[in-house]
Structure 1
Amino acid sequence: MSARPVETPSHPTPLDRGTLDALAHGTHRDPFGVLGRRDDGDGPYIRAVLPGAQGVEAVDARTGDSIGRLMEIENTGVFEGWVKGADPYRLKIAWPGTVQETEDPYSFGLLLGELDLHLLGESRHFELASALGANVMEFDGVAGVRFAVWAPNARRVAVVGDFNSWDKRRHPMRLRHPSGVWELFVPRIGPGERYKFAILGPDGAELPDKADPVAKSAESAPGTASVVAAPTAYEWTDDAWMAARSAKHLPDAPLSFYEVHLGSWMKDGRTVDWNFAIDKLVPYAAQMGFTHIELLPVAEHPFGGSWGYQPLGLFAPTGRYGKPEDFARFVNAAHAAGVGVVVDWVPAHFPTDPHGLYRFDGTPLYEHADPREGFHQDWNTAIYNFGRREVQNFLIASGLHWLEQFHVDGLRVDAVASMLYRDYSRKEGEWVPNHLGGRENLEAIGFLQHFNAVVRERVPGAMTIAEESTAWPGVTRSTTEGGLGFDYKWNMGWMHDTLNYMEQNPIYRSYNHDGITFGLVYAFSEKFVLPLSHDEVVHGKGSLIGKMPGDAWQKFANLRALYGLMWSHPGKKLLFMGGEIAQWSEWNHDAQIDWPALDDPNHAGVQRLIRDLNRIYVSEPSLYRRDCEEAGFRWVIGDDRANSVFAFRRHGADGDPPILVVANMTPVPRHGYRIGVPVAGRWSEIINTDSGLYGGSNVGNGGGLETTPVESHGEAQSLELSLPPLGVVALRAG
């Protein structure tokens, strides 16, 4: 039958009142069942929801000729009308003050392929951001953006943004059963568009508009919209780095992390962004000899005062510092300078901001329903439901996104202890035991093991590092051996014990001697990083130098001795920004490091010491090659409580000259202090924290000593040393 004349004012088969009202109010559950080009037996017609339009005409997509006019039904914003032919068409929409010509989103077929849906259904889609979220693409030869979001319990999901005046009626999405994923292709839009998802919960209640959980870009706070990102087109030039980095991350390699909060590192009168970091931070870290920059979380987060530890955009570098491609340029520049990049990653919990993941589709989708499992009382955040496969897939895909798309060299996983224990920071009756009746979070354990196993398989050479503050066994043991599978673990026990010892007046250190020695009891039970992190210089804890006892001279000497001990102790190194210049003030995330302090020679001396410690650390294999083996460490003097003196040796592989480290933790110089050594001949003094170069008193051993054939400490040869006050010296055989 031929089509009706286009001039006819009559409509195709009338919609029932319920359907019309649902379309008019944006609550229809199956928009593809009623919108787009249709045929009720009398001929083709088109139906569209365009509230606010003053007129709508359908035109042939090739010729631009009119094929029919759509008329509005009862001022509802729903337009329909008979059309000619079955060729591709566009809608010519007269808006107040402008005319828009575009393809009809409801003229396109299914978007996500069977493989995507299969992997999503099995929760094994580790390239999640390529399937869900906003992806710029061509569909049937038309450029636009495919939107997709997981919201299995929603009654309706619509995409809203600047492109449709944030009108939830304009772009309702199609549900793909049984995956729970909603999809829609919006033609003729592209990168830079802001958007969110407008969701009706299962009870029909309208939720606050939700940001995209897998958005690859987001607008800067205080804005909360997601942003359509440009397709990944960054041209990496770090092939040599990526090919060689596995060896740089092994337990027998030197690792020295410079922990940085970019927004408060340096202001310098410029906008703090990734370009600034390329110009300033990368060369500074390289000059200081750090092997890696470790960034506090750079995933998008709504509240700057959380420092990134309450993120909502786990796939999006924060818009505070630029676009995703700018972050990629930063990583590439760091690699070109010989510096790796580690980012802090937070899969433990998330904030409950209404635009975020919390009750995303009107149900506890990402979090536990029971607050005894799903709410973190300390941080007022929601806890991920690690027992849900889709949540595990979401988190693992996030971690892989940073490693694969941005060439990040490692993830430092935050708050692991809070994940491992169901009773973490909870009183009796405030937590739910596991199915065996215990306190272990078996689902979180399984997630961490799965995450680390996938990273090993897909991104060989990348590191995962656990911030885990308890004695949980096997954090760095392989998953095949029943461990959690991390490469390294922060040694929080070493940090607490060492700082507690250093804070003591030297008069009382003899009573706290175990604060230094106890850490060696368990030093090789895991592969450790020694952290002096941001956590130790906030919330009223003061700065590192502020913790040191004594007058100003003694404070600087104590801090230099702390660093001397740390860099010679088994374990990789991490220092938070500002510690390297001994700034007096506590870290303030709204300010910057106290760079003017470097005008004082004492502060400049500490900075010079850190640079030299890093240089010596990476050039002396005995200081790192057996970091994780008992054979790499030997106590020489661990019981001189009366003098607060410690002496130990570090050993590398066969042929590496041993290094003797001696610490005098009192302000009294000690001359003629004899220590046995295993190698006769000259021992060169490679570090002395009391050197005048660092602001010290220059008590030392003149650059080195010859052994004498006097038995001491079970050795036939010995050295007669001068130990500087509150100082650490290290001597190498040869």
Structure 2
Amino acid sequence: MRSSEWLGTWSWDDGDWMRARPGRHGGEMPLAFYRLRALDWYLSHFALPMNWNRLAEELVPYVADLGFTHIVLDGALIGQPHSVVCQFIETCHIAGVGVVIVYSPLSSMTQPEFLAWCDRCHIDGYEEVSDHSGEGRGAECRLFLSKTTEPVLVLDPRVRWRLASADYLALSPAERCRQHAAWIAALTPRELSRGLLEQVPDDTTALGQWRLQVHGDDWQRFAAFRTCLALMWALPGDKQVAMGVELGQVLAESWEAALHWPLLFESRHAGVLRLVADLNRLYVNEPALQVRGEDRLGFEWLVDDDSDNCVIVFARHAESGHASLVCVCNFQACVHYRYRLGVPSAGWWRETLNSDSVFYGGSNVGNGRGAMTEPIPSHGHAQSLAVTVPPMAALFLRHEIWFEDGS
């Protein structure tokens, strides 16, 4: 497609988004991406022919309500009439959702033409496919840092995280114990650049087949998946999930359509959806989770040697030094009572998220409002907590009160 084919005028109404875009992409807010194939998502609601306005009416409120900041769209939007593209992008921007396009060099546009199209249509970023899959897997995500297409912020996919988490969930509890050191090494931040943590199943297989790779019965699979999602949001890095992951469709029987909305009538699948929404909410509201991966002071291992219990504990620290958050993950299907862990600050630690909550389809084991530290040294810290760690679950504990009764 040549530029003359899409030249036209559009009376834009997304000025607030475009003025704020440099700050959004420059590190002043967390980024969470929802990856989809436009036609597949559309067909889960409507019949052909494809109508981009109808897609926006369903997709944009859904993504915004879940707290995602951007959608990553396949190349289906490329080649659409100029007014159709602008209307779709404007609808996303007014709702506070950015749009990233997957671009293939094999498309009808050269790269200069594609970037000019992005500029003209207020596209917020792109992934350039390096193979013939059309999915952009493993590609860098480039976000525009101004009202134009230059300069860009590059987000490198953390392939190590995606492979390690899938491999670890496939292990039996005994095998997880033996692989604990490798698991810790995979979770420890090493990169100095901005990164993207993903839950994106293999595009070549049906979503439901992924459940066969997770060890255990249905209860353990759902619990382990919820724990892995919470762990991903707790680690440094921006987040990306593929469509269907938020429904827990990766743990359902294979379905002929890309999305199977009736799954939400089942409490465990509805629980995964609620968990993803709550994780995105915490991602925005918790200062400690917003420290970038290159800030090594933002991440601290507290317990990295408990291979017997398959428990890991780390802290995330806000830049101010306050409102630290501790993440406790248990990858065994048993409860650990009065599990003691050292913490960096004395006082009351509030339980802000528990992936075993009944609201997420869990067994509802936890610590109620939270726990108070005791002056008992543990794990290199003078103060420690004794908490109940739910089975196959993740806890987020936020430091709130110094040296005061938490009752």
Give the TM-score normalised by structure 2. Answer: 0.88
Q: 1:412 aligns with which of 127, 130, 135?
A: 127
Distance change (3 Å), C-alpha of 1:542 and 1:723: same
Secondary structure, counterpart of 2:191 in structure 1: coil
Q: 1:242 aligns with which of 18, 33, 48?
A: 18
Q: 1:265 aligns with which of 24, 30, 41?
A: 41
Secondary structure, counterpart of 2:22 in structure 1: helix
| Contact 2:375–2:382 under 8 Å retained in 1 | yes
Question: Which one has a bigger Cα radius of gyration?
Answer: 1
Distance change (3 Å), C-alpha of 1:610 and 1:294: same
Distance (Å, rounded) in 2 between the aligned partners of 1:511 and 1:708: 32
Distance (Å, rounded) in 2 between the aligned partners of 1:682 and 1:416: 51
Distance (Å, rounded) in 1 between the aligned partners of 2:253 and 2:100: 26
Alignment partner of 1:276 is 2:34: no
Q: CA deviation at 1:504?
A: 1.1
Aligned residues: 389
Instruction: Determine the structure 2 residue equivalent to 1:705.
Output: 371
Distance change (3 Å), C-alpha of 1:540 and 1:598: closer
Q: In the alignment, residue 19 of structure 2 is paired with which amino acid?
A: A
Distance change (3 Å), C-alpha of 1:540 and 1:331: closer
| Contact 1:523–1:570 under 8 Å retained in 2 | no
**Structure with larger RCO (C-alpha < 8 A, sep 6+):** 2
Q: CA deviation at 1:245?
A: 1.1
Alignment partner of 1:600 is 2:266: yes
1:514-533 mapped onto 2 (5 Å cutoff): 514-521=181-188, 523-533=190-200
Distance change (3 Å), C-alpha of 1:722 and 1:456: closer
Alignment partner of 1:296 is 2:74: yes
Q: Which runs of 5+ in 1 are unaligned?
A: 1-127, 136-215, 217-228, 300-316, 357-393, 419-447, 465-486
Q: CA deviation at 1:585?
A: 4.5
| Contact 2:336–2:389 under 8 Å retained in 1 | yes
The structure with the greater share of residues assigned to helix is 2
Q: In the alignment, residue 581 of structure 1 is paired with which amino acid?
A: L
Q: CA deviation at 1:526?
A: 2.7
Secondary structure, counterpart of 1:335 in structure 2: helix
Q: 1:342 aligns with which of 100, 122, 128?
A: 100
Alignment partner of 1:325 is 2:83: yes
Distance (Å, rounded) in 2 between the aligned partners of 1:686 and 1:545: 28
Distance change (3 Å), C-alpha of 1:560 and 1:520: closer
| Contact 1:571–1:628 under 8 Å retained in 2 | no
| Contact 1:567–1:617 under 8 Å retained in 2 | yes
Distance (Å, rounded) in 1 between the aligned partners of 2:2 and 2:146: 19
Instruction: Determine the structure 2 residue equivalent to 1:714.
Output: 380
1:308-707 mapped onto 2 (5 Å cutoff): 317-319=78-80, 323-347=81-105, 350=106, 395-415=110-130, 459=148, 463=152, 487-521=154-188, 523-533=190-200, 536-539=202-205, 542-583=208-249, 584-585=252-253, 591-707=257-373
Distance (Å, rounded) in 2 between the aligned partners of 1:293 and 1:457: 19
Q: CA deviation at 1:238?
A: 0.8
| Contact 1:686–1:731 under 8 Å retained in 2 | yes
Give the TM-score normalised by structure 1. Answer: 0.50
Distance change (3 Å), C-alpha of 1:563 and 1:510: same
Secondary structure, counterpart of 1:733 in structure 2: strand
Q: In the alignment, residue 687 of structure 1 is paired with which amino acid?
A: L
Distance change (3 Å), C-alpha of 1:541 and 1:244: closer
Q: CA deviation at 1:546?
A: 4.2
Distance (Å, rounded) in 2 between the aligned partners of 1:240 and 1:399: 24
Secondary structure, counterpart of 1:559 in structure 2: helix
Distance (Å, rounded) in 2 between the aligned partners of 1:129 and 1:506: 57
Identical counterparts, % of pairs? 35
Distance (Å, rounded) in 1 between the aligned partners of 2:298 and 2:396: 15
| Contact 1:410–1:462 under 8 Å retained in 2 | no
Instruction: Determine the structure 1 residue equivalent to 2:65.
Output: 287
Distance (Å, rounded) in 2 between the aligned partners of 1:277 and 1:540: 23
Q: CA deviation at 1:539?
A: 3.0
Secondary structure, counterpart of 2:300 in structure 1: strand
| Contact 1:501–1:515 under 8 Å retained in 2 | no
| Contact 2:197–2:240 under 8 Å retained in 1 | yes
Distance change (3 Å), C-alpha of 1:540 and 1:581: closer
Q: CA deviation at 1:415?
A: 2.7
| Contact 1:343–1:410 under 8 Å retained in 2 | yes
Distance change (3 Å), C-alpha of 1:518 and 1:395: farther
Distance (Å, rounded) in 2 between the aligned partners of 1:706 and 1:269: 52
1:110-121 mapped onto 2 (5 Å cutoff): none
Distance change (3 Å), C-alpha of 1:697 and 1:541: closer
| Contact 1:581–1:603 under 8 Å retained in 2 | yes
Distance change (3 Å), C-alpha of 1:463 and 1:693: farther
Q: In the alignment, residue 58 of structure 2 is paired with which amino acid?
A: K
Distance change (3 Å), C-alpha of 1:651 and 1:259: same
Secondary structure, counterpart of 1:250 in structure 2: helix
Q: CA deviation at 1:416?
A: 8.0
1:1-150 mapped onto 2 (5 Å cutoff): 129-130=2-3, 135=4
Distance change (3 Å), C-alpha of 1:729 and 1:417: farther
Q: CA deviation at 1:555?
A: 1.1
| Contact 1:259–1:574 under 8 Å retained in 2 | yes
Q: CA deviation at 1:249?
A: 1.4
Distance change (3 Å), C-alpha of 1:595 and 1:233: same
Q: CA deviation at 1:402?
A: 3.7
Q: CA deviation at 1:284?
A: 0.1
Distance (Å, rounded) in 2 between the aligned partners of 1:462 and 1:337: 25
Distance (Å, rounded) in 2 between the aligned partners of 1:460 and 1:643: 49
Distance change (3 Å), C-alpha of 1:645 and 1:554: same
| Contact 2:100–2:127 under 8 Å retained in 1 | yes
Distance (Å, rounded) in 1 between the aligned partners of 2:326 and 2:360: 21
Distance (Å, rounded) in 2 between the aligned partners of 1:597 and 1:716: 47
Distance change (3 Å), C-alpha of 1:717 and 1:521: closer
Q: Which runs of 5+ in 2 are unaligned?
A: 134-139, 401-407
Secondary structure, counterpart of 1:407 in structure 2: coil
| Contact 1:524–1:628 under 8 Å retained in 2 | yes
Alignment partner of 1:253 is 2:11: no
Q: CA deviation at 1:507?
A: 2.5
Distance (Å, rounded) in 2 between the aligned partners of 1:575 and 1:276: 23
| Contact 1:690–1:724 under 8 Å retained in 2 | yes
Distance (Å, rounded) in 2 between the aligned partners of 1:679 and 1:416: 49
Distance (Å, rounded) in 2 between the aligned partners of 1:570 and 1:700: 25
Q: What whole-Å deviation, never above 9, does each CA across 1:461-481 have from its counterpart, x for those lacking one?
A: 8755xxxxxxxxxxxxxxxxx
Q: CA deviation at 1:278?
A: 1.5
Distance (Å, rounded) in 2 between the aligned partners of 1:265 and 1:603: 18
Distance change (3 Å), C-alpha of 1:574 and 1:456: closer
